[in-house]
Amino acid sequence: MLSLFQRQPKKAVAPQAEPPRSEVAYDPALVAGLTQQHRDLVMLLVKADSLARQRRYEDVAAVLDQFKTALRLHVVRESTELHPYLVLHLTGVQSKDLLRQMRHEAVLAERAVEGLIEHYTGYPVSERNVLRFSAELEGVIEEFSTHVEHEEAAYYTLYQAPGLY
């Protein structure tokens, strides 16, 4: 049995350095792509309303599903390309608040639209509820359009080539 004094001291293990932050590359086409996605998303909502008014209820469900998928892809693109880039390049206390506000507003807009879609996925649009659907969708289109206009004017303009910060 080894006594406490005969044991060899353990070598100190140096703490591992944090992995370097991966640099998010600037994509000059990102803002144009995100803006186009906004236009496509609004057009899908308008298309769903038009199809409902034409009594093409099965097509409404398909378009709402397309919208849901396209919105998720858009949110992922913002989360993986836009937000990390801005986090790395914007400085100052106000920038952190601004980025937090941007993410918060995006989540609110996404939840509002998804709430409507989830409702009408569970209770599909039909002759019985088409007027209510159209009225609710009209409000969502207006609110979503206002949100994307604000996002483009307030946040997308912050995305610039690295040398411009």
CA 16, chain centre distance (Å): 33
pLDDT at 9: 53
Mean pLDDT over each residue of the chain, to the nearest integer: 89
Q: What is the pLDDT of residues 61-98, one digit of tens each?
A: 999 999 999 999 999 999 999 999 999 999 888 888 99
Q: Are 112 and 142 in contact (CB under 8 A)?
A: no
Q: What is the pLDDT of residues 97-121, one digit of tens each?
A: 999 999 999 888 888 899 999 999 8
Percentage above 70 pLDDT, the chain: 87
pLDDT at 91: 87
- Residue 55 — left, alpha, or beta (φ > 0 → left; ψ -120 to 50 → alpha)? left
3-state secondary structure 16-42: CCCCCCCCCCCCCCHHHHHHHHHHHHH
Per DSSP, helices labelled H in 54-129 are 57-77, 83-89, 93-122
Does residue 20 surpass a pLDDT of 70? Answer: no
Question: What pLDDT band is residue 21 in, cutting at 50, 70 and 90?
Answer: low
Amino acid at the residue 119: H
Does residue 54 surpass a pLDDT of 70? Answer: yes
